[in-house]
């Protein structure tokens, strides 16, 4: 797979976008929504009627817009035409023009700083996405200029590798403005791509003034080699076998036996901008025995992604999250002491936890099942991650995370996150499907959270649906309503059909009830006990 050289920092931010409430204001051309990147202090996403219709080229429309909003985008004294290079202009499926830009500073590309403009077929600008690095002209470091030569930078990068690589293509050093460490610097971007003595695709940023290495990462995301089976020790100390790939004497966490493959990567504690350096480098091991402390998170992310793939394949005939065999990617050791895991729109990302509230998130199979189910939901119902649709999205992730835990068969339960939550305290969990109130979550619609935090309570109100799903599996009487048990398999089949057939992006809880009842009728008959049980389960949690 070929990697694009310029990764958009402000693009594809998915669930982890810095979603501060955008401001809305009326411009002369119509209402405009401007979402700020507060870290950088300039806009990251602007939408609305940004310009009036025009017969100019789409590039010109975008450049003129930048020129007339210099105060916001702060790209300096030069005109937009000199501050941005047009990388690409294309048409989308709706007839809009998509203009892709690379920010330049005095003609030098600002690494990772790309922008996109969407211009409709009337020549009106509708969207500007991507943060511009602001006020570069005032930066002291850039005034120092460059002192060392490109060849020297390549030498520095090569000697840092510690061995002499047989390069696939000649190394080049490209002068860039590197902003990844906070203060912009001139740097050489050096790519070293090789297969021998071991495969690697290293990116180096060598300070153009003093030759120091500002940053480096191995951007390799796939190897070609032979299938192999290794062993690993998981987060909880258990041993499991792993599908790996052997290439040039090194083993990689690349499982070629499922769909288009399962790949596990190392973020080595980095995060920077989410998505910027993801996925990190493909996990490698010298002897196919992954038993070091740092291996544990990788072992479980890899193994449980395989179990999750098998669950969806064997139970529902679904080939990966998109049902088209998409490659499944996970990165572990994301950031430091990071107390969460997420699906970013294209891959799973796991923190190591702070060691007190959480340990490595991939150690819980219900966590892995939860995250990969977000991908299934995104590719099917597309439930919007806010308010009731967002709580449904979260609930489906908990429900299937739990079904996958039962499918795996090792100490399964209806608790959520028990294997990674408070490693120093036994017997507790983050949430409970059987009794959400144990951890302070609502178990009835009348007790739902109606505030705006956590995207409108997506991790709170999910518990109401979780409880309905639990009652459907196990039966019980809740607030005076008795729900007959239909078992996990039928509950799973009903919710899977609801998610993949009937639920829509903006579904409410009551649409979820109707969808589940319809799914049960399709699967088991209109007047079936299963339809009755679904209705009772939603009655019990107060959803009509």
Pairing of strands 23-27, 125-129: unpaired
Short-list 394, 313, 404, 324, CA closest to 364: 404
Please count the residues of this chain forming the interface with ligand TI1, following the rule CB under 6 A.
17
User: How far is CA 429 from each of CA 79, 320, 426, rounded to the nearest angstrom?
Assistant: 56, 28, 9
Q: How far apart are CA 269 and CA 424, in angstroms?
A: 23
* Cβ-based neighbour number of residue 95 at 10 Å: 8
Question: Three-class SS string for 460-507?
Answer: HHHHHHHHHHHHHHHCEEECCEEECCCCHHHHHHHHHHHHHHHCCCCC
Backbone angles phi and psi of 152, in degrees to 5: -65, -40
Catalytically active residues are: 371, 459
Pairing of strands 173-178, 185-196: antiparallel
Short-list 129, 97, 109, CA closest to 17: 129
Asked if 193 touches Ca ion (CB under 5 A), the answer is no
Pairing of strands 250-252, 289-290: unpaired
- Residues within window 12-71 making contact with ligand TI1, judged by CB under 6 A: 15-16
Nearest distance in Å: CB 169, ligand TI1? 37
Q: How far apart are CA 368 and CA 410, in angstroms?
A: 14
Site track for Ca ion across 348-367, x = CB under 5 A: ------------------x-
Asked if 371 touches Ca ion (CB under 5 A), the answer is no
- Residues within window 307-346 making contact with ligand TI1, judged by CB under 6 A: 340-343
- Residues within window 421-460 making contact with Ca ion, judged by CB under 5 A: 421-422, 425, 428
Q: How far apart are CA 231 and CA 192, in angstroms?
A: 31
Nearest distance in Å: CB 326, Ca ion? 26
Nearest distance in Å: CB 417, ligand TI1? 3
Asked if 267 touches ligand TI1 (CB under 6 A), the answer is no
Q: How far apart are CA 246 and CA 532, in angstroms?
A: 53
Tokens coding 539: 């009655």
Asked if 366 touches ligand TI1 (CB under 6 A), the answer is yes
Question: Which is closer to ligand TI1, CB of 15 or CB of 195?
Answer: 15
Nearest distance in Å: CB 400, Zn ion? 11
Point out which residues pair with 264 in neighbouring strands.
330
Nearest distance in Å: CB 444, Ca ion? 22
Tokens coding 53: 């219709």
Nearest distance in Å: CB 356, ligand TI1? 14
Where do we find the tokens 């991790």? 459
Asked if 352 touches ligand TI1 (CB under 6 A), the answer is no
Q: How far apart are CA 471 and CA 485, in angstroms?
A: 7
- Residues within window 355-414 making contact with Zn ion, judged by CB under 5 A: 397
Among 329, 333, 459, 467, binds ligand TI1 (CB under 6 A): 459
Site track for Ca ion across 396-415, x = CB under 5 A: ---------x-------x-x
The CB-nearest residue to ligand TI1 is 417
The listed partner (ligand TI1, Zn ion, Ca ion, none) that binds 457, CB under 5 to 8 Å by sort, is none
* Site of interaction with ligand TI1 (CB under 6 A): 15-16, 340-343, 364, 366-367, 370, 374, 394, 401, 416-417, 430, 459
* Site of interaction with Zn ion (CB under 5 A): 397
* Site of interaction with Ca ion (CB under 5 A): 366, 405, 413, 415, 421-422, 425, 428
């Amino acid at each position: 797979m070929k990697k694009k050289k310029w990764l958009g920092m402000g693009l594809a931010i998915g669930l982890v976008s810095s979603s501060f409430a955008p401001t809305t204001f009326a411009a002369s051309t119509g209402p405009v929504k401007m979402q700020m990147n507060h870290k950088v202090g300039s806009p990251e996403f602007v939408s609305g009627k940004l310009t009036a219709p025009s017969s100019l080229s789409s590039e010109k429309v975008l450049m003129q817009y930048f020129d007339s909003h210099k105060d916001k985008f702060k790209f300096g004294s030069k005109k937009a035409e000199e501050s941005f290079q047009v990388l690409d202009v294309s048409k989308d499926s709706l007839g809009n023009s998509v203009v892709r830009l690379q920010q330049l500073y005095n003609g030098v590309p600002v690494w990772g700083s790309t922008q996109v403009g969407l211009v409709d077929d009337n020549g009106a600008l509708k969207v500007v996405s991507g943060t511009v690095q602001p006020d570069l002209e005032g930066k002291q470091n850039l005034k120092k200029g460059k002192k060392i030569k490109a060849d020297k930078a390549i030498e520095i990068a090569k000697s840092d590798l510690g061995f002499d690589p047989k390069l696939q293509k000649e190394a080049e050093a490209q002068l860039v403005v590197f902003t990844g460490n906070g203060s912009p610097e001139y740097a050489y971007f050096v790519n070293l791509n090789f297969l021998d003595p071991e495969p690697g695709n290293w990116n180096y940023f060598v300070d153009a003034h003093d030759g120091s290495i500002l940053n480096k990462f191995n951007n390799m995301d796939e190897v070609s080699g032979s299938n192999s089976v290794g062993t690993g020790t998981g987060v909880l100390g258990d041993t499991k076998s792993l599908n790996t790939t052997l290439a040039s004497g090194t083993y990689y966490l690349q499982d070629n036996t499922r769909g288009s493959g399962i790949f596990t990567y190392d973020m080595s504690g980095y995060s920077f901008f989410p998505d910027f350096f993801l996925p990190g480098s493909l996990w490698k091991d010298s002897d196919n025995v992954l038993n070091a402390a740092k291996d544990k998170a990788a072992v479980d992310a890899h193994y449980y992604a395989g179990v999750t793939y098998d669950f969806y394949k064997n139970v529902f005939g679904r080939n990966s999250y998109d049902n088209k065999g998409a490659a499944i990617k996970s990165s572990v050791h994301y950031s430091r002491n990071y107390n969460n895991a997420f699906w970013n729109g294209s891959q799973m990302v796991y923190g190591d936890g702070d060691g007190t509230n959480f340990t490595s998130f991939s150690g819980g199979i219900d966590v892995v099942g939860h995250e990969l189910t977000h991908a299934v939901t995104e590719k099917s119902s597309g439930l919007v991650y806010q308010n009731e649709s967002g709580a449904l999205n979260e609930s489906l992730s908990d429900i299937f995370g739990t079904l996958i835990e039962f499918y795996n068969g090792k100490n399964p339960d209806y608790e959520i996150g028990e294997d990674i939550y408070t490693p120093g305290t036994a017997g507790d969990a983050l949430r409970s499907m059987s009794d959400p109130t144990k951890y302070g979550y609502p178990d009835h619609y009348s007790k739902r959270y109606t505030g705006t935090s956590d995207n409108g309570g997506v991790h709170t109100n999910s518990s109401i649906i979780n409880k309905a799903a639990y009652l459907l599996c196990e039966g019980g009487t809740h607030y005076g309503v008795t729900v007959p048990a239909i078992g996990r398999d039928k509950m799973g089949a009903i919710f899977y059909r609801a998610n993949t057939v009937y639920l829509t992006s903006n579904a409410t809880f009551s649409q979820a009830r109707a969808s589940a009842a319809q799914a049960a009728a399709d699967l088991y008959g209109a007047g079936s006990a299963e339809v009755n049980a679904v209705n009772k389960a939603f009655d019990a949690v107060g959803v009509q």
